[in-house]
């Protein structure tokens, strides 16, 4: 899984993954594929195979459940990710975190740049780091460029929670995990999150755990 692959073997790897129906296995932190650069997508998978791979990513993201999934998280070192967030959260959380619904999207060869200097710090988690969440300060607004699954150019500004999701997923394609950017003193188990840190902002957690908030 950690050796360079030619075009044929990448397609073969994806074919093998898709041979089993249902959600794909998600790899966890410690797997080198999560730390390597990914190959830009330029047709390594033909159109039908790409469509099947994207559908498998979607099924896997839904089953997890999660709001984004990058190809390296299923062991495939290609610059492709999917996002979708129905945002089933209380109104107060929606307002404070900007967690508006994000329709399903495929990001091919995405990259982002900050728009303005505003930052937003909230707890987030990752399907490849199961059981934990931590506070990450991220750009509140980003411009995302790349393509969609049909090769059409993508150039769009994201704000609120969708901005956080596209940064998190694009970072995966550069071998970066959210923990690399997190306030490590905020690291909280899912149990602690459910019992203590359900407030819309991490201010109380910052005071109690001793980490700075931008």
Query: Annotated catalytic sites, by residue?
Result: 169
Q: Does an H or E element contain 204, and which?
A: helix 203-209
Q: What angle do CA 150, 80, 184 make, to 5 degrees?
A: 150
- Could you say whether residue 108 binds Zn ion (CB under 5 A)? no
**Considering the rule CB under 5 A, would residue 165 count as an interface residue with Zn ion?**
no
Tell me the C-alpha distance between 139 and 128, whole Å. Answer: 22
Instruction: Report the nearest approach of Zn ion to the CB of residue 126 (Å).
Output: 3
Residue from the set 14, 108, 126, 165 that interacts with Zn ion by CB under 5 A: 126
> By beta-carbon distance, which residue lies closest to Zn ion?
126
Please report whether residue 10 would count as binding Zn ion according to CB under 5 A: no
Query: Which position has the token pair 């959600």?
Result: 23
As measured in angstroms, the least distance from the Cβ of 67 to Zn ion is 10
Residue 30 backbone zone (phi > 0: left; psi -120 to 50: alpha; other: beta) = left
Distance of alpha carbon 129 from alpha carbon 178, whole angstroms: 9
Identity of the residue, 10 or 126, whose beta carbon is nearer to Zn ion in the bound complex: 126
Residue 77 in contact with Zn ion, rule: CB under 5 A: no
- Minimum CB distance to Zn ion smaller for 78 or for 126: 126
- Interface ranges with Zn ion (CB under 5 A): 126
């Amino acid at each position: 899984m950690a050796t360079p692959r030619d075009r044929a073997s990448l397609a073969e790897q994806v074919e093998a993954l898709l041979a089993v129906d249902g959600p794909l296995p998600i790899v966890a932190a410690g797997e080198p594929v999560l730390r390597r650069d990914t190959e830009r997508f330029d047709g390594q998978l033909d159109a039908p195979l790409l469509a099947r791979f994207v559908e498998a990513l979607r099924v896997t993201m839904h089953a997890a459940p999660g709001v984004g999934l990058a190809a390296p998280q299923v062991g495939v070192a290609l610059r492709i990710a999917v996002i979708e967030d129905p945002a089933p959260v209380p109104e107060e959380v929606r307002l404070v975190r900007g967690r508006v619904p994000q329709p399903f999207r495929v990001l091919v060869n995405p990259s982002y740049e900050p728009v303005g200097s505003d930052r937003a710090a909230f707890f987030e988690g990752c399907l490849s780091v199961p059981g934990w969440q931590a506070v990450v300060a991220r750009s509140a607004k980003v411009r995302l460029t790349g393509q969609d699954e049909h090769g059409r150019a993508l150039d769009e500004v994201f704000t609120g929670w969708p901005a956080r999701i596209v940064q998190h997923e694009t970072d995966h394609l550069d071998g970066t995990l959210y923990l690399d950017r997190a306030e490590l003193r905020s690291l909280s188990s899912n149990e602690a999150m459910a019992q203590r840190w359900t407030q819309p902002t991490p201010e109380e957690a910052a005071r109690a755990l001793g980490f700075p908030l931008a």
